[in-house]
Structure 1
Amino acid sequence: MTVETAPSEVLRALLSDASLEMTGKDVPALLDAHAGIPPGTRINVTFLESEDLETRREAARTAKALGFVPVPHISARRLRSEAALEELLAALQADGTGESVFVVAGDPSTPHGPYGDAMSVIGSGLLPAYGVRRVSIAGYPEGHPDIDDAELWRALEAKATELARHDLAGDVITQFGFDVDAVIGWIEQVRERGIGLPIRVGVAGPAGIRRLVRYASRFGIGTSAGTARKYGFSLTNLMGTAGPDRFLRELAGRYVPARHGAVRLHFYTFGGLRATSEWLTDFTEGVRR
């Protein structure tokens, strides 16, 4: 294998089994886009406060009916009681959509009920009791605006240990970002700490530059002028759209499977499910040529 062909081969491996994200209200968008999404794709269903349980259930059921693997989110701090968690898990189990879930602390600074973080949900023991077999947890290559790095690392290590204790498979889905240096450095730290879980690197699908910057600001993601230029857009010109082409090619050029372990991609569909899936199909076909 020559040096010239290595990045493309690695990029193809990274792109295989990429996952997508939708909200409960994106069912019409999923129906519109599904023909261009590979069967078996993992599709995360977010847990928005503005959406009720039935809306989330319908999204997960639709994803399954279309031949995808639904991954419903569980937002720990939005759960008002243990009964609410059990109601959610029971509903997912009844629908056949609850084998894989993504557990995250969630946005509220004050928990609405007894679960203050993802660890408390995982540690409850309720997930396997309701048929959950795989749990995704969150990773933050560029840190979190409200949590210091030491606490983030303690939490990640504790959750990985707790998943193993409950005999649950798992992976880590990272927040999106624009800085490959941060992503690669973070993955190396994960492995140095003995965490062997597969990692899905969060990637912003193609979207308007203004929207990308707005989301980055909301989640505490760095958008320095240098990083923005490297990614492919300018902070002085927010018109137009940007895709992750450069980011993915650089990531592939620096990803060493023997060193970094299992790594795949998770796309945040800020520009819409169809736009992201079509971009992903075109980009993947271009890499294969």
Structure 2
Amino acid sequence: MPVIHPNWERPPVNMVDGYSLEMTAKDVESLKSTATAIAPETPIAVTFLPGEEPAARIEATRLVRGLGFEPMPHFSARRIRSTDEFETYLAAAVAEAGVKRCFVVAGDPSEPEGPYFDSSALIASGAFERAGISAIGIGGHPEGHPNMSKDQCWAVLEEKCTQIDQRGMAPLIVTQFVFDADAVLDWLAELRARGIEAPVRIGVPGPAGIKTLMRFAARCGVGASASVLAKYGISIGKLLGSAGPDRLVERFERGFGPEHGRVRLHFYPFGGLEKTVAWINNYARAH
């Protein structure tokens, strides 16, 4: 089995040890200003947003590598307009940023703009292993998927893990950001009971304004009922101010055990990279 990242080869010191981050091509200046506060070799995912030029994403990916971190560019299947576009972008990421790990998603459009309907189609193309990619990230859905039943979610996840493994790469499961730690713990227990041993990164929202968090939750289909938000520390009646993931991460710290397998956190910096990295470092010092 290929090595995914050195962070997986040792037990974590605390819940945020071995974390990963997400950024967009617009965050390059924030990354530069925050770089000295980020742990060396931290995996940083570079998202695939509509309206961005591929060159901007490649520049961001190259910066991640140049600053001593581990780039993991996203590939949004339904937004890729041709095989040539896909393979040219992948080749540039490998050649210019030494990319070894990629993350694949279907993408938001209901219909594909090119030949790839979903992330499975990208995996099945064989392009990743031909390019020398060693690990493929795929989405996990602890709170369910808006367009698939629970059984369909498990079947698709199992099939993707099998396909990635059979192609000589390592599967890595990364979830959408969550508010409900208990739902995640239950999902992880079922994941392992089903025999899926791939390491998992649980999505955690970095500190941000409450209205910002709610807006991203609505856009991403994240469960945000009043009871779940109350667990997280947000009151529906008080949407002013900001909120951090303190309660969520502390619940993970108490709840994670050997039965959950290899788990690390993946931070979505909705309030900015600087605030998220500062929160992570403060948490690490306190624990």
- 1:226 CA drift (Å): 1.9
Amino acid corresponding to residue 260 of structure 2 in structure 1:
H
- 1:96 CA drift (Å): 3.1
- 1:224 CA drift (Å): 1.8
1:264 pairs with 2:276: no
Pairing 1:29-108 to 2, within 5 Å after superposition:
29-108=30-109
Q: Distance in 1 between matches of 2:13 and 2:148?
A: 34
- 1:37 CA drift (Å): 0.4
Q: Distance in 2 between matches of 1:148 and 1:52?
A: 34
1:175 — aligned with what? 176
- 1:148 CA drift (Å): 2.4
Q: Distance in 1 between matches of 2:191 and 2:208?
A: 29
1:283 — aligned with what? 283
1:205 — aligned with what? 206
Alpha-carbon contact 1:98-1:132 (below 8 Å) kept: yes
SS in 2 for 1:15: coil
Pairing 1:150-189 to 2, within 5 Å after superposition:
150-189=151-190
Alpha-carbon contact 2:14-2:284 (below 8 Å) kept: no
Q: Percent identity?
A: 45
SS in 2 for 1:101: strand
Q: Distance in 2 between matches of 1:203 and 1:153?
A: 22
- 1:98 CA drift (Å): 2.1
SS in 1 for 2:30: helix
Q: Distance in 1 between matches of 2:99 and 2:56?
A: 15
Deviates more, 1:106-115 or 1:224-233: 224-233
- 1:84 CA drift (Å): 1.2
Q: Distance in 1 between matches of 2:153 and 2:53?
A: 29
- 1:170 CA drift (Å): 2.2
Alpha-carbon contact 1:75-1:105 (below 8 Å) kept: yes
- Structure 2 residue runs without a partner (length 5+): 1-10
SS in 2 for 1:57: helix
Deviates more, 1:78-87 or 1:11-20: 11-20
SS in 2 for 1:233: coil
Alpha-carbon contact 1:76-1:104 (below 8 Å) kept: yes
- 1:11 CA drift (Å): 7.8
Amino acid corresponding to residue 80 of structure 1 in structure 2:
R
**How many equivalent pairs are there?**
277
Alpha-carbon contact 2:12-2:18 (below 8 Å) kept: no
Q: Distance in 2 between matches of 1:135 and 1:154?
A: 18
- 1:12 CA drift (Å): 3.8
- 1:146 CA drift (Å): 2.5
Alpha-carbon contact 2:201-2:265 (below 8 Å) kept: yes
1:106-126 per-position Cα deviation (integer Å, ceiling 9, x unaligned): 111101111111111111111
Pairing 1:215-230 to 2, within 5 Å after superposition:
215-230=216-231
- 1:147 CA drift (Å): 2.5
1:250 — aligned with what? 251
Alpha-carbon contact 1:176-1:204 (below 8 Å) kept: yes
1:193 — aligned with what? 194
Amino acid corresponding to residue 190 of structure 1 in structure 2:
L
1:148 pairs with 2:112: no
Alpha-carbon contact 1:11-1:249 (below 8 Å) kept: no
